[in-house]
């Protein structure tokens, strides 16, 4: 059981960190945020008590916030602390990354030092395909492969930059720098929705004063206790949350 939802024996899809189940409503899916944590395309893998709930809580919080800012999201409701009911989307196989500060793969691929503040937010897009190592893709390839048409591509980038504007300002007020993050989008009845998650797994967050990592980099690079870092973020963004 996950709240009012009885988990079917088999998920429709078991990802690296979430399991997706069908629902009685054919337009909805049930997403369970698991305690699994992976890095480096699954090479590093562990489980941490409470991790699923912490990420689900953050994701719910941000999806609700973005809805009020006019961004359509897949969020419908929570059915348990680690379980989200979402609109079923036809997912677009792209990882849309917005970067405010150079870090991670950007500093490995290009001659830019970690921590360099970019002149303006930059959108980079990876083709979501684990077997091919999620290669970076460009506008021409997205169009020629018919992943999106030109209007949809413009819309996706606009939405990603709007999400950045909203989240960046919010985090700043919480004493956190939003370095970069990844979004996934999907379609339903011709409309593009923000799907997947917005959590400490999918963002790079630095304490504004100390510069310490408060996200999955704590796990990736053994920088300390990742659950303590995730709780720290939740306490700052939702002061009355039970974490």
Binding residues for ligand ATP, rule: CB under 6 A, are 13, 15-18, 20, 29, 74, 86-89, 91, 184, 186, 195-196
**Torsions phi, psi of 231, nearest 5?**
-65, -40
Q: Name the helix (H) or strand (E) containing 163.
A: helix 150-173
Report the partner that residue 53 touches, choosing among ligand ATP, ligand TYD, none (CB closer than 5 to 8 A by kind).
none
Could you tell me the smallest distance in angstroms from the CB atom of residue 111 to ligand ATP? 27
Helix axes of 226-237 and 51-68: crossing angle, nearest 10 degrees: 30
Strand pairing partners for 124? Answer: 97
Residue 177 vs 202, nearer CB to ligand ATP: 202
Could you tell me the smallest distance in angstroms from the CB atom of residue 40 to ligand TYD? 7
Query: Which residue's C-beta sits nearest to ligand ATP?
Result: 15
Could you tell me the smallest distance in angstroms from the CB atom of residue 134 to ligand ATP? 7
Length reported for the chain: 243
What is the distance between the alpha carbons of residues 70 and 159, in angstroms, rounded to a whole number? 10
Report the partner that residue 21 touches, choosing among ligand TYD, ligand ATP, none (CB closer than 5 to 8 A by kind).
none
Residue 200 vs 234, nearer CB to ligand TYD: 200
3-state secondary structure 120-133: EEEEEEEECCHHHC
Query: Which residue's C-beta sits nearest to ligand TYD?
Result: 104
Two structure tokens written together for 133: 């190592």
What is the distance between the alpha carbons of residues 115 and 211, in angstroms, rounded to a whole number? 10
Residue 125 vs 177, nearer CB to ligand ATP: 125
- What residues make contact with ligand TYD under the rule CB under 6 A? 95, 97, 104-106, 126, 134, 180-182, 201-204
Could you tell me the smallest distance in angstroms from the CB atom of residue 20 to ligand ATP? 5
Say what the alpha-carbon torsion angle 200, 25, 73, 183 is, to the nearest 10 degrees.
50
């Amino acid at each position: 059981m996950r709240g009012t939802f009885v988990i079917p024996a088999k998920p429709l899809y078991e990802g690296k960190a979430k399991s997706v189940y069908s629902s009685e409503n054919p337009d909805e899916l049930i997403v369970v945020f698991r305690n699994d944590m992976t890095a480096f395309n699954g090479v590093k893998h562990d489980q941490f008590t409470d991790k699923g709930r912490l990420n689900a809580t953050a994701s719910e919080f941000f999806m609700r916030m973005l809805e009020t800012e006019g961004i359509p999201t897949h969020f419908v409701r929570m059915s348990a602390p680690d379980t989200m009911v979402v609109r079923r989307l036809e997912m677009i196989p792209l990882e849309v990354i917005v970067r405010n500060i150079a870090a991670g793969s950007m500093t490995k691929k290009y001659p830019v030092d970690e921590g360099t503040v970019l002149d303006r937010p930059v959108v980079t897009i990876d083709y979501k395909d684990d077997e091919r190592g999620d290669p970076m893709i460009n506008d021409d390839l997205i169009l020629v492969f018919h992943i999106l048409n030109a209007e949809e591509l413009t819309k996706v980038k606009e939405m990603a930059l709007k999400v950045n504007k909203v989240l960046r300002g919010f985090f700043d007020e919480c004493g956190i720098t939003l370095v970069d993050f990844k979004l996934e989008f999907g379609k339903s009845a011709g409309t593009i929705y923000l799907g997947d998650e917005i959590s400490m797994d999918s963002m790079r967050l630095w304490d504004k004063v100390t510069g310490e990592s408060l996200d999955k980099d704590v796990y990736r690079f053994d920088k300390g206790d990742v659950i303590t870092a995730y709780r720290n973020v939740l306490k700052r963004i939702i002061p009355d949350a039970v974490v």
